[in-house]
A and B are shown apart, each in its own frame.
Chain A
């Protein structure tokens, strides 16, 4: 058992693919300079895509349309179920249909600022450019966006920006966009251009002569381990929020694909950047298995408050106006309840830690629609938020029309992920990462309605252009199925599964996951301190050692075995968690979702340190439990000058 709190600093890395010159021309230039693969030669190239969410689904469909042979995987029973489906709010696009002064440049600016100046300008600008095409593409596919009576698309405003650029399909935008991508993918499956493997999970990456050439996967129904070889591998396997056990992610969303790729040489970027969403339904007890988001749009009309008195157990309607603290409106008078997510979450934690929280365990604040109902009438509120109110009541058995909702922050999204260059290539040539799986364009904090935009930009537009270049430049001799690198990857996977089955200990996989999650939530959640992170870094290796000694996995590997799936994923979380804590420890500034208690102003506001930390932390794996190597990618801001964010 080893503990690491130190690391070595390796060579800096540069994003060598982003062209220089005026930012608005960089993407066009990159596309023009990229080599193309002759259409008649594309069929000779096989591309593996892991995941079928917005990024993977759109990439698989598009690459197949271009003529590549696509082999695609998802752990779900159908590609339609990827967790992008649960996104509620909407998707941003700089269409300026409202004539309210929006532009590609403004979306770019808002995203860089919202990310607290920890994202790469070139990438973010490209994202803003692609946003416009995404809406066109989705409308052509039949995505039923909300429309005005004149038949044109409706938009709404979202998350503290000053324009109305969010396109939506009621509270189910993610579902509708995902079904659009799924249907495009289905057309390619039927056409024989995509070989789809559902209920199949990637368990390792095959690297031959320094290039990604395939994956090892497990058929979740039969347990069969299979090898799939290709000319390039695309990971679109989502984020790693489930490392916290309780999150808004789907139960089976996991980090194994990206973590195994990291172990095979792909650097991991900014692992400590996690987003904790302020408006989720609080946990109701120890049995809690996941947390449910209540759309951020509720903050447009709901007022957030806690009782002024500590441990006030009165029913909310018994607490007079004068005894309520509308703390966001008090602290941030100009943005009020609409401050960015990281700020709203931290403020809720502060008031709850101070003893003002409501509901079970004092882990909740009120989101009150009383004033909105008085102002707009119950019917109008129902029209806007009816489905969310219904969902809340179903889960809590409380009626939000007559009693304020209780909300509390929950882990929602991970800005960190595999480091990628401008071409979305990881540090392993031939291995690409798209969507939430990469460290992405959101810096240290993602704005609302930007995740869907990024997933689809990567999958429909960016990757299909840059992958061409990679395939055109590299020569791809066929890899023999008995190549030593293949045999080694298969043996690693089998050994690991066999070991998990053989331990036959006395603790369930979930019991370890819960313990790890609580530790991370306490020490690497909304507020992080040097002492707390050291505590976590001491405890995680112990827990990992205990896991490999005491975990109990019933059944065999040659069947549908959900306990084995879980245990295998948890074994990866037990390594990833350590890297997250180390990253959080080393970044002694506060920025975006990463709040270090040591780096705050007298009024409690986060203090960023641009002099020392204006870089992406890209970590290189050196072995389980062994100190990783830090490679820094310096961030230059030519167009959006870093300022301390202020929402007061």
Chain B
């Protein structure tokens, strides 16, 4: 880590070369375009650095680089780009929480969209991740119509189960796992939701159907299979463990054999 001086705003700025994927529409072939940028403060976030570039492009009469972003505090899951070949860049965090102090003056940075068969490019660095929504729609919920709920304390949930559920429920749906996977697999994403809901007593009645339907939806969307390369968990900004996939596989086999009986 090329840390800035602790405790003070660094006054030294950086000059960088950016090579950014530009693609006007889904139909167009895209290409890497090179830009020079100066005056980058180490305290800027990566997206603020792109803001500066875009302001400059607008004034020069060029089209700014399109990218998805929203909360800029690492929780909405909207942002995501492949930075120097790594989903979300060199730190285990979201792109919006990556800061320029991770880079050095004179660096060249390659910036590309998520690359996966199930995530077609919309424009520049913006991709279509609606396939993830459809995986959730296939079973990533507990059927509990409003008003039908029993008193919250009617069912105690062991703390271990609640904590396990929470750790999987932390997934922000950014798609970095898919982008990092050599097969473009969404196993980490899908397993996180399956494990969150299946461990809870409230999720038990739909346990088998949930895992079978979500896995089927995942396959239909064109996500690849898992070959245990483990790239997904390294890229995951929320640290969903690789074990999650094994846990889902166990749920899947349990459900499949139960269905067959």
Contact = CB atoms under 8 A, between A and B. Distances in A.
Contacts of A144: 162-163, 165-166, 169, 196, 200
A506 interface: yes
Contacts of B231: none
Nearest to A65: B145
Interface in A46-93: 58, 61-62, 65, 76-81, 83, 85-86
A144 B70 CA distance: 25
Given A85-B76, A287-B48, A78 B173 contact: yes
Given A142-B142, A183-B140, A85 B149 contact: no
Interface stretch (B51-59, B220-228, B251-259): B51-59
19 contacts: A77-B130, A78-B77, A78-B130, A86-B76, A137-B144, A140-B202, A147-B158, A151-B159, A183-B140, A248-B73, A250-B71, A251-B71, A284-B44, A289-B72, A394-B99, A397-B4, A460-B147, A554-B57, A559-B123
A464 interface: yes
Smallest CB-CB A-B distances: 7 pairs = A151-B156, A183-B141, A140-B149, A140-B144, A144-B166, A190-B137, A144-B165
B7 interface: yes
Interface stretch (B60-68, B104-112, B180-188, B240-248): B60-68
A318 to B, nearest CB: 12
Contact of B146 (A58, A83, A559): A58
Contact of A395 (B59, B99, B126): B99
Contact of B43 (A61, A62, A97, A285): A285
A45 to B, nearest CB: 18
Contacts of A62: 145-146
Given A137-B144, A139-B202, A559-B123, A394 B70 contact: no
A560 B77 CA distance: 20
Interface in A109-145: 133, 135-137, 139-142, 144-145
Interface in B151-202: 151-153, 155-159, 162-163, 165-166, 169-170, 172-173, 196-197, 200, 202
A176 B166 contact: yes
B75 A175 contact: yes
B58 A563 contact: yes
A293 B169 CA distance: 22
B96 to A, nearest CB: 9
A221 interface: yes
A139 B202 CA distance: 8
A391 B69 contact: no
Given A149-B159, A186-B141, A76 B78 contact: yes
Q: How large is the interface on A (under 10, 10 to 19, 20 to 34, 35 or more residues)?
A: 35 or more
A106 interface: no
A136 B150 contact: yes
Nearest to B145: A65
B101 interface: yes
Interface in A531-565: 552, 554-555, 559-560, 562-563
A552 B3 CA distance: 37
Interface string A17-60: 00000000000000000000000000000000000000000100
Given A151-B157, A559-B123, A85 B101 contact: no
A397 B101 CA distance: 9
Interface string B68-109: 111111111110000000000001010001010100000000
Given A81-B77, A136-B150, A142-B202, A176 B169 contact: yes
A461 B145 CA distance: 12
A142 B64 contact: no
Interface in B4-56: 4, 6-7, 9, 24-25, 41-45, 47-49, 51-52, 55
A315 interface: yes
Nearest to B217: A190
Interface of B: 3-4, 6-7, 9, 24-25, 41-45, 47-49, 51-52, 55, 57-59, 61-64, 66, 68-78, 91, 93, 97, 99, 101, 122-123, 126, 128-130, 132-133, 136-138, 140-153, 155-159, 162-163, 165-166, 169-170, 172-173, 196-197, 200, 202-203
Contacts of B24: 559
A183 B166 contact: no
B138 to A, nearest CB: 7
Interface of A: 58, 61-62, 65, 76-81, 83, 85-86, 95, 97, 133, 135-137, 139-142, 144-153, 169-170, 172, 175-176, 179, 182-184, 186-187, 189-190, 198, 221, 248, 250-253, 284-285, 287-290, 292-293, 315, 359-360, 391, 394-399, 403, 460-461, 464, 506, 508, 510-511, 552, 554-555, 559-560, 562-563
B200 A142 contact: yes
Contacts of B41: 284-285, 287
A45 B176 CA distance: 40
Contacts of A58: 146
Contact of B141 (A172, A184, A399): A184
A79 B196 CA distance: 19
A404 to B, nearest CB: 10
Nearest to A406: B7
Contacts of A562: 64, 66
A554 B144 contact: no
B71 to A, nearest CB: 4
A560 B58 contact: no
Given A77-B68, A77-B129, A284 B7 contact: no
Contacts of B196: 142, 144
Given A288-B48, A552-B59, 5 more contacts: A135-B152, A144-B169, A187-B141, A187-B143, A562-B64
Nearest to B203: A142
Given A151-B159, A153-B152, A397 B6 contact: yes
B9 A360 contact: yes
A315 B7 contact: yes
Contact of B9 (A145, A175, A284): A284
Nearest to A79: B133
A559 B25 contact: yes
Contacts of A391: 73-74, 97
Contacts of A97: 153
A149 B156 CA distance: 10
A406 to B, nearest CB: 9
B137 A284 contact: no
Given A65-B145, A287-B51, A562-B66, A85 B99 contact: no
Nearest to A556: B63
B6 A81 contact: no
Nearest to B47: A289
Contact of B152 (A61, A139, A293, A396): A139
A221 B71 CA distance: 20
Contact of B151 (A65, A136, A149, A184): A136
A279 B163 CA distance: 28
Given A86-B71, A250-B72, A147 B159 contact: yes
A144 B58 CA distance: 45
B59 A506 contact: yes
Contacts of A252: 70
Given A142-B142, A198-B130, A555-B63, A76 B150 contact: no
A148 B161 CA distance: 11
B209 to A, nearest CB: 12
